[in-house]
């Protein structure tokens, strides 16, 4: 858990929530764009979802790639985990 200014944040819950969302979206298509995960266009939403995909990538639950710097970040299934 992390403390953020005035509230406690449970990163495990956030990561699990992001993974659930990714799993649902990847049932419909082969890959998604990171932007599809962002519901609120604010720094907090972006930050926690970005950290979550990094964590999920590290756990090999998803695969991410980017064609070039500052381009869209794509998320897809790893070999067979989703």
d(C-alpha 53, C-alpha 75), whole Å: 9
**Residue 14 scores a pLDDT above 80:** yes
Q: Which residue has the higher pLDDT, 82 or 58?
A: 58
pLDDT in tens, 36-79: 999 988 998 999 999 999 999 999 999 999 999 999 999 999 97
Contacts of 77 (CB under 8 A, 6+ apart): 26, 30, 62, 63
Rounded CA separation 31/75 (Å)? 6
* Cα four-point dihedral sign 46, 48, 21, 79: positive
């Amino acid at each position: 858990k992390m403390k953020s200014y005035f509230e406690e944040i449970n990163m495990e819950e956030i990561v699990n929530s992001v993974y659930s969302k990714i799993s649902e979206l990847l049932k419909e298509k082969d890959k998604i764009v990171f932007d599809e995960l962002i519901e609120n266009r604010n720094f907090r939403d972006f930050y926690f979802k970005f950290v979550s995909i990094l964590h999920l990538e590290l756990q090999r639950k998803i695969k991410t790639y980017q064609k070039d710097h500052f381009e869209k970040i794509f998320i897809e299934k790893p070999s067979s985990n989703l």
